[in-house]
Structure 1
Amino acid sequence: MSISAEKRVFKKLGYNKEESEKIVGSLNKLLANYHVHYQKLRNFHWNVTGSDFFDLHEKFEELYDESFANIDLIAERIRVFGMTPYSLMKDYLEHADIEEVGTDLSSKAMVEEVLKDFQILVDNMNECAVKVADLGDTATEDMLIAFIKSLELHHWMLSSFIKE
Structure 2
Amino acid sequence: MKLNSIGLDAEKAKVLASDLNQLLANFQVYYQNLRGIHWNIKGKAFFDLHTKFEELYTDTNIKVDEIAERILTLGETPLHTFSDYNQNAQVPVGKNVSQDEKAVKLIVDSLTELLKIERQILDKSAEANDEGTNSMMGDFISEQEKTVWMMNAWLSETV
Structure-2-length-normalised TM-score: 0.94
Match of 2:57 among 64, 71, 81: 64
Note if 1:126 corresponds to 2:132. Answer: no
**Which ranges in structure 1 are unaligned for 5 or more consecutive residues?**
1-6
Identity across the alignment (%): 34
Where does residue 50 of structure 1 map in the other structure?
A: 43
Per-residue CA distance 1:128-162 (angstroms, 9 max, x = gap): 00011111001110011000111111111111112
* 1:99 shift after superposition: 2.8
Counterpart of 1:37 in structure 2 is: 30
Across the aligned residues of Structure 1 and Structure 2, the Cα RMSD in angstroms comes to 1.3
Q: In the aligned structure 1, how far is the partner of 2:94 from the partner of 2:47? A: 21
Kept in 1: contact 2:14–2:75 (CA 8 A): no
**TM-score between both structures, scaled by the size of structure 1:** 0.91
- 1:150: which partner in 2? 143
Larger radius of gyration: 1
Mapped contact 2:38–2:50 kept (Cα < 8 A): yes
Aligned AA for 1:155? V
Which structure 1 residue ranges, 4+ long, deviate > 2 Å from structure 2? 9-12
Q: 8 Å contact 1:45–1:60 — kept in the other structure? A: yes
Q: How many residues align?
A: 157
Residue 10 (structure 2) aligns with: 17
8 Å contact kept, 1:12–1:20:
no
The answer to whether the Cα contact below 8 Å between 1:93 and 1:99 also exists between their aligned partners in 2 is no
